[in-house]
Amino acid sequence: MAGEPVSRLAETDGDSVSRGHRWLRLLVAGAWLAVPLWLALTRFDTLRAGHPAHPVTLALAFLVGAGLLARALRPAPVRRRWPLVRALAAVLVTVLACGVLACLRPFSASPTAVAATSSPSVTVTQGSSSITLAPTTPDSGVGLIFQPGARVDPRAYVPLLVRVAERGHRVVIVKQPFDLAFAALGAPSRVMDANPQVSRWVVGGHSLGGVAAARAAATGDPRIAGLVLWASYPDSSVRDVPLPALSIYGTRDELATASVVRGAAEQLPSASFVAVEGGSHAYFGDYGEQPGDGVPTVSRDVAQRQIAAATADFLGGIGD
């Protein structure tokens, strides 16, 4: 009899710990379910139109959450508990994984950009890893491989690049896994292999996409004949590569400022710079405003006409 109160106390404590761990399991499962569901509800069309790696990963995360939820709801013995280390590890993995998935929520292309994927003057073909803009006029033989900025819907660049394609240049916009250029560093080589009818290519990109394009130019692939940077700069020197380069920037850009872009001149080979007066970082695509960007003092259409014209002129010079 003397040991009965102690036994009951231990059993009560076990009940409390078990309930605590069950709630923890429910919270962990809820995070794995909530984040993919939130992204699907708010960015369904963008995810569907992008690289399949992103929606597939979200689907797998949701299945993980469903499995964890089923396990949390399963009856367990009173004394069954997660060891502290396992509990902390589960919380840490959940916070990191779900936090990364949430941070990768993409910027959606504007309705104007989505509508531009059906252009009467350019044949627009969407694949699982690229959007190809093929001119209906005679092909110049110089194409552009373009890598989007971080977390930007690749369709956001179609209105700008249609204007380039109308000048006789095949343009391939890369769909990057998770909309990150560093996840598609090998894309230019694959695009060139898949389009042997184009003899010379210019690699280019916006923001982080420009960094990836500069890395492609640095490989020395003989099929690459030039480099175009939109509001971007290389992360290492490509000065030893004998290629012409064009760097276009907005004077109101607060993410890739004019001073930083022009300061990268010593890292580039023969480079020319074009300033878009009053242009911002987000004006290099059609995906709305971007946090941390500057306030533009010119219209989006005026700025984009300058960007497209400078790019097309540069590609035309490659063909001379």
* pLDDT digits 0-9 by tens, 9-32: 444 444 544 666 788 889 999 999
Range of the domain at 121: 111-319
Instruction: Give, in degrees to the nearest 5, the angle at Cα 174 between 146 and 213.
Output: 45
State pLDDT tens for residues 71-110.
Answer: 888 876 545 555 677 888 899 999 999 999 999 999 999 9
243 & 308 share domain: yes
153 & 302 share domain: yes
117 & 223 share domain: yes
212 & 161 share domain: yes
Query: What are the distances in angstroms from CA 172 to CA 49, 71, 163, 301, 309?
Result: 15, 46, 13, 22, 17
How many domains are contained in the chain? 2
81 & 209 share domain: no
Last residue of a domain, one of 103, 133, 158: 103
Last residue of a domain, one of 59, 80, 103: 103
Q: What is the pLDDT of residue 17?
A: 47
Please name the helix (run of DSSP H) or strand (run of DSSP E) that holds residue 213, with its range, or none: helix 208-218
Q: What is the pLDDT of residue 11?
A: 46
92 & 118 share domain: no
DSSP character at residue 107: B
131 & 263 share domain: yes
93 & 162 share domain: no
Instruction: Give, in degrees to the nearest 5, the angle at Cα 246 between 237 and 295.
Output: 100
